[in-house]
Chains A and B, each alone.
Chain A
């Protein structure tokens, strides 16, 4: 029981991070119907900027952990969002109206480009980061096993819940969210009604990237190490989460993230940690085959 509870806590933490990345996939897919293959690498960029941000904080002598986290969070969100914006502007926007696979191929190119750019600029070796937040809280002990929630895990879950709540509000109740939903339903009609479609799509990428940056920072704090390749696996897992929850649906992305976190952690905990990634890939394949619209998504109707 104790082991199970501990695994559950770890799974929720991991699931929160996946959920944050998955939102970026799901929003972009919802609005322009493309899989932003480079999103995982934007997450990686976010993690790197956070690493450098924490180091800068240490250099200029910011000792309060809470303040440092806040500063780094803002820095990472802003500067990663610039990446998202630029990528959309340079690599995706010119391709609207091109043939079907063009944006996806371009996205794969961006992904390769970003990975190797970071590898070149920052080196290929994993970068260790000191832990920013230490300590935790023992929930209970059973069978000589301490069930422990670290402060970091609490921070991760709280930050995620706050961001998701804020984000849902943004989509549901602000003019920007309304425009986004309008573009999602019918881009041409939205344009006719005076919605600036290009701007809305750009902002979608900006928001998705900012959330990925938060996920990157949380990932960095949780695992304490980043390298240029983390975006590949995390990206696929988050994409799986988005598909599992129903791509295009925001609550679906969060639910999917949570489920993928659960599956991964429990598979590693009870079966074999070598095959945990295989388990996630298998879930992706199974969901796509048997329920391509996901748990909360709407089935897609193809019109001629």
Chain B
């Protein structure tokens, strides 16, 4: 073991050197604009600390992977202690950086034990039974919790806002899951259909006075039509071309919305969009002429929370419809064809499945749900502009699907809570949010390509699995 130490040190030093080269210009010389040209704000101390941390971090990971538990553990603890200590590092970020490095080493050290323990637990009789029951009940418990949330003590304005936001992303994630997870089509322009739905409702309601419930199916239809129109020419393409072309379409739609001022009011956006009504009753303190408010209808005192709770139930319902639809269609021939197509397109062709039509249905169905979500978004925000439909939005939805495990429904929920909820609760992390998204996408692909809940059962089995010995 000791004989390998020089090699380890050399490798760690090399890693640190590369990290230093990466950071030298971008981190070391921070350019600041003081109004009369750019000036440097040197940050070599920050860079140096980061490089040293990377050196020890790499060393610790090496030690841990070689099974040298105690040195690795000591190193991890030391790094954690340095990061958490009141030592004045130049920035809070560096404190976190050092702490995370320490935690990573410790995790890597105990990983073999934890993994083995988990595996035995999972394969024991009780573990198996528990896992099956857990999978069965977990969704139900989540659902009940979601239904009861507005009546719980946590239902203040902030939390309900967040819950609506998370559910919107859950719905979008479930919708995209049909396209990416089931049919295996990487769609980077999903937000385009979301935009179509949003603008459909915004325009139809402000120009023609149609209500939310009339427009909702229309918006879904418009988005699905767009999906068909866009999908028809491009779905013959190979997977990675498809990704780029869908991204191109996403950008085209955004640019058109931005520049076609007569239709979309351009960058200024559309405001004054009416919210959804409850059997004709509006959610406001005073109703416009000829209408009544929800509070009058129910004979209860008005509260501003009512609107939010109503929105919450609408999006919950929409999301559940998406989920239910997906669960059911997976068992229909077309759903099975999607999954078969994902696994092997050539074999599908040989079996007489028309790949273009099959992909097209997946694309259109996914687009339809994005359209629903879009018109909900417009009704919730009451103001939309092309700003809300950038590529980043598509990327966020995609990372939710990827992180959750492509094809896993409950995984999408967890990923949405993780990726949307956490950054909202910890506002300070806002600036680092997208970095974490990007990093998570890479790490998931490298370490757990099947997603956090790494479990992909085929929907149908040719031969039923026999009971274990």
Q: Which residues of A contact B (CB under 8 A)?
A: 34-35, 45, 48-49, 51-53, 55-56, 59, 75, 79, 82-83, 85-86, 90-91, 94-95, 98-106, 108-118, 120-123, 125, 127-130, 232, 236, 239, 243, 274-275, 277-278, 281-282, 284-285, 288-289, 292, 302, 304
Contacts and interface: CB of A to CB of B under 8 A. Distances in A.
Interface stretch (B20-28, B220-228, B375-383): B20-28
Contact of B239 (A101, A109, A123): A101
Contacts of A99: 449
For the complex of A and B, the 6 pairs showing the least CB-CB separation, nearest first, are: A109-B441, A113-B438, A112-B438, A281-B248, A109-B442, A106-B445
A108 B18 contact: no
B interface SS class? helix
Contact of A55 (B31, B233, B437): B31
A104 B437 contact: no
Given A91-B442, A98-B445, A102-B445, A278 B255 contact: yes
A275 B257 CA distance: 11
Contacts of A302: 346
Contacts of A236: 244, 247-248, 251
A195 B371 CA distance: 51
Contacts of B21: 79, 82
A128 B36 CA distance: 10
A250 B329 CA distance: 45
Contacts of B251: 236, 277, 281
B435 interface: yes
B435 A120 contact: yes
Contacts of B26: 45, 48-49, 52, 117-118, 121-122
Contacts of A79: 21-22, 24-25
A102 B427 CA distance: 31
Indicate the member of B21, B26, B391 with the most A CB atoms within 10 Å. B26
B434 interface: yes
B332 to A, nearest CB: 24
A294 B178 CA distance: 31
A49 to B, nearest CB: 5
Nearest to A232: B391
Contact of B438 (A49, A109, A274, A285): A109
Contacts of A94: 446
Given A127-B33, A236-B248, A274-B259, A104 B240 contact: yes
Contact of A239 (B233, B244, B392, B449): B244
B40 interface: yes
B92 interface: no
Contacts of A85: 18
B346 A304 contact: yes
Nearest to B236: A289
Contacts of A292: 237, 241
Contacts of A34: 240
A112 B395 CA distance: 8
A62 B391 CA distance: 41
A275 B259 contact: yes
Interface in B10-51: 18, 21-22, 24-27, 29-33, 37-38, 40
Nearest to B241: A288
B402 interface: yes
A292 to B, nearest CB: 7
Contacts of B142: none
B440 interface: yes
Given A109-B439, A236-B244, A98 B449 contact: yes
B398 interface: yes
Contacts of B439: 109, 113
Interface in B407-437: 431-432, 434-435, 437
A18 to B, nearest CB: 16
